[in-house]
């Protein structure tokens, strides 16, 4: 280093960079770990599963290794009618969401209730488990926590899946993967802005709304409506189906790409989808040679399109 100045300089450089990291990384992390998860935060974590981008269990982002969200209208064991509950079903071997693996990230209170009352510590990935979100009290305040329904109510994944039909199952976790893989977040945000978006796009997220979600895919560059509350604005599966197949069927000026390829080879009835024919007919329609556009095929139950629509409609 030859000069004394360089030694001093190198040390000062270390101090400056260290200080900057302390302020921008360490100090905010103190605030962030204190945040208690909200009900929305808990539900998001549970329905999306462990990780939403590239991961070892789902390297090609096909939506594998994700939990299922099931809407229960009757008690799966007794068959009694109950208030509809969302149950998050992790079949055997499906990796748990971070909140279950590291309950600490839910914040004090939520962590305590989930461990003591909710018994989430007893769940294992090997056996699989079913979780629900319940309401409890902590230091006099009403808060939500995660309940391991397999331990508390005997709802195992098999019991649940045998008591419902496919119509009650939502592939929200897999749908989030489609959202990430297809790059919807390059055009759509999931972050209504605090200053002006309340009226049209709904309330901005609160502090504890994402505790167990990754990636958050908030989006930075908005070329299209915010989707955080799209399910409350528009709950029509039919509309979504047409819009994803070809956005210009319902919105002639849209610049959204067609996502028809998410339908895969066959439709819900098992018929092969003839894309070339569909496109040719659609071109005739736009050229004014047909009065009606061709019909949009209904997506098959296990198609990527169905999963994506499940995800989008659940953004409430």
Asked whether position 308 contacts other proteins by CB under 8 A, the answer is no
Q: Residue 306 to residues 14, 69, 205: CA-CA distances in angstroms? A: 52, 14, 26
Pick the piece of the chain touching ligand HEM (CB under 6 A) from 41-49, 188-196, 220-228, 277-285: 220-228
Q: Which is nearer to ligand HEM, 6 or 186 (CB)?
A: 186
Q: Within the chain, how many helices (H) and strands (E) appear?
A: 13, 5
Site for ligand HEC in 151-180 (CB under 6 A): 179
Report what 312 binds from other proteins, ligand HEC, ligand HEM, none; CB cut-off 5-8 Å by kind.
Answer: ligand HEC
Report what 17 binds from ligand HEM, ligand HEC, other proteins, none; CB cut-off 5-8 Å by kind.
Answer: other proteins
Work out which of 51, 72, 149, 227 binds other proteins, going by CB under 8 A.
Answer: 51
Phi, psi of 221 (to 5 degrees): -135, 100
The span from the CA of 114 to the CA of 131, in Å, is 11
**DSSP assignment string, 121-179:** GG--TTT-EEEEEEEEEETTEEEEEEEEHHHHT---HHHHHHH--GGGEE-HHHHHHHH
The span from the CA of 289 to the CA of 104, in Å, is 62
Asked whether position 287 contacts other proteins by CB under 8 A, the answer is no
Closest distance to ligand HEC from the beta carbon of 194 (Å): 19
Q: What is the DSSP letter of 103?
A: G
Q: Which is nearer to ligand HEM, 199 or 220 (CB)?
A: 220
Report what 81 binds from ligand HEC, other proteins, ligand HEM, none; CB cut-off 5-8 Å by kind.
Answer: none
Site for ligand HEC in 208-247 (CB under 6 A): 223-225, 227, 230, 233-234, 247
Work out which of 9, 84, 154, 183 binds ligand HEC, going by CB under 6 A.
Answer: 183
Distance in Å from the first CA to the final CA of the chain: 60
Burial of residue 281, with CB atoms counted within 10 A of its CB: 0-12 exposed, 13-18 middle, 19 or more buried: middle
Pick the piece of the chain touching ligand HEC (CB under 6 A) from 16-24, 58-66, 182-190, 286-294: 182-190
Closest distance to other proteins from the beta carbon of 48 (Å): 10
């Amino acid at each position: 280093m030859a000069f004394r100045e360089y030694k001093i300089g190198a040390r000062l450089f270390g101090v400056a960079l260290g200080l900057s990291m302390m302020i921008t990384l360490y100090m905010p992390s103190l605030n962030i770990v204190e945040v208690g998860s909200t009900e929305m935060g808990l539900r998001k974590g549970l329905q999306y599963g462990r990780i939403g981008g590239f991961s070892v269990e789902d390297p090609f982002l096909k939506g594998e290794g994700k939990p299922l969200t099931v809407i229960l209208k009757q008690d799966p064991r007794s068959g009694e009618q109950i208030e509809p509950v969302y149950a998050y079903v992790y079949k055997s071997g499906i990796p748990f969401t971070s909140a279950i693996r590291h309950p600490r990230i839910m914040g004090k209170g939520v962590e305590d209730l989930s461990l003591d009352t909710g018994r989430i510590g007893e769940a294992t990935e090997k056996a699989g488990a079913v979780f629900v979100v319940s309401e409890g009290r902590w230091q006099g305040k009403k808060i939500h926590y995660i309940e391991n329904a397999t331990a508390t109510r005997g709802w195992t994944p098999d019991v649940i899946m045998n008591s419902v039909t496919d119509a009650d199952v939502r592939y929200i976790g897999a749908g989030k993967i489609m959202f990430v893989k297809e790059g919807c977040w390059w055009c759509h945000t999931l972050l209504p802005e605090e200053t002006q978006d309340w009226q049209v796009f709904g309330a901005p997220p609160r502090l504890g709304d994402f505790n167990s979600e990754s990636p958050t895919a908030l989006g930075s560059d908005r070329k299209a409506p915010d989707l955080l509350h799209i399910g409350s604005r528009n709950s029509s599966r039919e509309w979504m189906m047409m819009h994803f197949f070809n956005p210009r069927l319902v919105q002639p000026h849209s610049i959204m790409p067609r996502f028809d390829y998410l339908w895969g080879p066959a439709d819900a009835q098992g018929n092969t989808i003839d894309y070339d024919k569909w496109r040719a007919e659609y071109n005739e329609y736009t050229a004014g040679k047909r009065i009606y556009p061709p019909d949009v095929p209904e997506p098959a139950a296990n198609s990527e399109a169905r999963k994506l629509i499940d995800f989008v409609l659940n953004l409430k």
